[in-house]
Copies of this chain bind each other. A is one copy, B any other.
């Protein structure tokens, strides 16, 4: 892609060589003349000056190295991401069904669908145009996958699971496994049937080895634009809104509601039936309690999860406990002295 094309794509002003061929992106220090790189104001501006990148994305006020093609943008990181998505478009696999795959006769595959080696597609599955199953993917009976999706190696879709368009599902993710529900009877835990479904919206990205359970009764629902990191667990009948972002190893018990634009750190554990309000932010390892609501628009941390500032204040006081204890000790002595008088 020529530097001029990249500038055009970003709707931004180009300084310098418009004709240079750029083949990929790199970090400032690692880039060579074939690379696009960016400086977003973090770190020393001299790193930008020293870069050997063929094309640089810079804010208006940052000086450019001699000879570099420069594209002036207000948000270099965003512009870089956009340019790189164009430079490295998602690569669909070779169209057609690999001879080692097992595809039911009743499965419907859209135009250009790529079914890689060792995949297993059961009866009544529908897969939208341009979708790629890399290898070893299992799609259970009646499942539906939208268009332009990419499912990596070893992904499992249990029967009836539905995924929208442009989803990326990383290796080993398990979608639609049974929820964890039992009734205790005669000294044994008997299975509470898990007969609901799982619906995932458009533009989802599901991390490697993540697990999302189907509903017990009714569906588990994941909205549009939701991003789940590796090893995230979503229990039965959770409802995640649109554009929710969840970092690695966070887990949701059953029936949790997560409203739009919530962002969570890693290893958060959310109790059964909790509700996380719109655009709330929850810090790593926090533990929102079962059946509690965290109000939207605020930051939370700790177990039990509390408003961030409140939790920080508490942490600070705990830090000061040795001092406080010493203080009390001293006061006791002084009190004794007064009493003795």
Q: Chain A interface (Cβ within 8 Å of chain B)?
A: 24-27, 30, 75, 77-78, 81-82, 84-85, 88, 98, 100, 102, 116-118, 120, 134-136, 138, 140, 152-154, 156, 158, 168, 170-172, 174, 177-178, 180, 182-183, 185, 187-193, 195, 203, 205, 207-209, 211, 213, 217-218, 225, 227, 229-231, 233, 235, 243, 245, 247-249, 251, 253, 265-267, 269, 271, 284-285, 287, 303-304, 313-315, 317-322, 324-325, 327-328, 331-332, 334-335, 338-339
Cβ of A318: which chain B residues have Cβ within 8 Å of it? 314, 317-318, 321
**Which 3 pairs from chain A and chain B are nearest by CB?**
A174-B208, A156-B171, A138-B153
Task: Determine the distance from Cα of A193 to Cα of B271 in the docked complex, in whole angstroms.
Answer: 33
Once bound together, how far apart are the Cα atoms of A331 and B120, in whole Å?
A: 73
Residues B331 and A230 in contact, CB atoms below 8 Å apart: no
Nearest chain B residue, comparing its CB with the CB of A187: B243
A242: min CB distance to chain B, Å: 9
> A218–B170 contact, CB under 8 A?
no
Asked if A156 and B156 sit within 8 Å, CB to CB, the answer is: no
Q: Nearest chain-B residue to A229 (Cβ)?
A: B180
CB neighbours of A98 from chain B (8 A): 102
- The answer on a CB contact under 8 Å between A174 and B170 is yes
Asked if B230 and A248 make an inter-chain contact with CB atoms under 8 angstroms apart, the answer reads: no
Establish whether residues A285 and B304, one from each chain, have CB atoms under 8 Å apart when the complex forms: no
Tell me the minimal C-beta distance from A151 to chain B in angstroms: 12
Cβ of A203: which chain B residues have Cβ within 8 Å of it? 188
Q: A136-B118, A136-B120, A195-B25 are in contact. Are A211 and B213 (CB under 8 A)?
A: no
Smallest beta-carbon distance A38→chain B, Å: 10
| Interfacial chain B residues near A266, Cβ < 8 Å | 233, 251, 253, 269
14 cross-chain CB contacts under 8 A: A24-B195, A27-B217, A81-B190, A81-B191, A156-B172, A188-B225, A188-B243, A208-B213, A211-B248, A231-B251, A248-B251, A249-B251, A324-B324, A327-B332
Query: Are A249 and B230 neighbours in the complex by a CB distance under 8 Å?
Result: no
Closest to A180 in B: B229
CA of A154 to CA of B155, assembled, Å: 9
CB contact under 8 A between A120 and B138, given known A193-B85, A253-B266, A338-B335 = no
Residue of B nearest to A317 (CB): B321
- Known pairs A208-B174, A233-B230, A267-B267; A245 contacts B213 (CB<8 A): no
With A174-B171, A177-B208, A269-B266 in contact, is A189–B245 under 8 Å at CB?
A: yes
Check B138 against A138 for contact (C-beta < 8 Å): no
- If A152-B177, A243-B187, A249-B269 touch, whether A209 touches B78 (CB-CB below 8 Å) is no
Chain B residues within an 8 Å CB radius of A209 = 172, 174, 209, 211, 231
- In the complex, A218→B24 CA distance in Å? 12
Pair B81/A193 contact, Cβ less than 8 Å: yes
Q: Chain B residues near A327: list those with CB within 8 A.
A: 328, 332
Known contacts A81-B190, A174-B170: A325-B322 contact under CB 8 Å: no
